[in-house]
Amino acid sequence: MKKTPATLFFLLALHLCALAQPASEGPGRGFLEVLEHGYDSERYFQDRLLMEDPVGDAHLFRQLDTIPVKLFSYIIHGTMPQAEVAARAATPPYKTGTVVPFDADRLINKCSGIMRQEFPDIFPYIGEEHKWSPEAQEYLPRAFWHRLGRHISGEQRDFPCPTFQRTKLFICLSCGWTSRYCFTGQEEALRQRVMSYPDRGVQIHDLFAESYVLNGGNLYLTFLTCENLLAGIPHRRERADDPLQKKLEYIRIDSAEYGDNYGAWYHFFGIALYAMMRPDFVSLFVADAESFGSFFLEGPDRQEDLINHHGAIFGQKLRGLLDNGGWWLTSPTDTDYMNVPRNQ
């Protein structure tokens, strides 16, 4: 999923699917105290797996309120603080590709083969996603209005960002904050495994396989660990020089290796994770809404749009494979999933 700049497009898009929530008496004072005095929210990072984290949720609400000003700045100044901008500025223009970089069905075959190979020691299952804590869940119906009142009274400097009562996973993915608020505890172990590969030696299925083993077959944590590793600090200019990125196969097939490889990778794992945890129509809607937001804020990138759309299809099919038990019933041989570039 696209990170901070496209967040409001995500939120506004899924607002169409939002359900009304019942009124509540409000969360406990401890949660509100952190929320109202969390001036160090930008420095908050979980240090262990916490499926519910009221303190982190309070910091997350505060961190959300930094988005409106940043989004306005991105639109006005027309720049993005990440490697893709610097790379493209220093390289002759190229036409973004209209060929899908990977075949979702063949990638499914490859991943199901990995799951069969690890069975019976490891049995795959979807797993549970990170949830809002009970305190945050009670706060959601009045979250925007409470913070707006504090902004108007001068108690809070930042203008509040609406959440439309979206899930914690959705907001963290759309903002690029899963490594901060949805930590798995396996990120460093996965990094060490990736760094043992030769440069450009890690393919999509390799990252999946390493994370799958580390997370004991929990597919939610498998994809989330990959996402956290890839997008720990997504918006930084030096991203292209990260030693970890140099280990990843270049998966865009519309250019030589000067585009933003990280973007392609974390887009895939982020939307695949979300699609695996949501109904088909929702995940495809989000993938395409994200592409619309990126087009408005950053300009057209057909290759990235294709990764979004077909990454969602992959996540949906993987969920279906688990639901019907098909991951172990057959052993397909067609597993060469990367497509060959052709004239764009």
Band of the pLDDT at 89, cuts 50, 70, 90?
very low
Query: Would you state the pLDDT for residue 279?
Result: 77
Residue-wise pLDDT tens digits, 115-146: 999 999 999 999 999 999 999 999 999 999 99
* Range 169-184 average pLDDT: 91
Query: Would you state the pLDDT for residue 296?
Result: 34
d(C-alpha 173, C-alpha 213), whole Å: 23
Written as six digits, the tokens of 10 are 């995500």
Percent of the chain with pLDDT over 90: 43
Query: Would you state the pLDDT for residue 303?
Result: 72
Whether the pLDDT of residue 113 is over 90: the answer is yes
* Range 278-296 average pLDDT: 51
Instruction: Specify which residues 102 forms β-bridges with.
Output: 338
Query: Would you state the pLDDT for residue 266?
Result: 87
Q: Which residue has the higher pLDDT, 60 or 307?
A: 60
Q: Which residue has the higher pLDDT, 295 or 48?
A: 48
Percent of the chain with pLDDT over 70: 70
d(C-alpha 90, C-alpha 111), whole Å: 37
Written as six digits, the tokens of 248 are 């990843």
DSSP code for 335: -
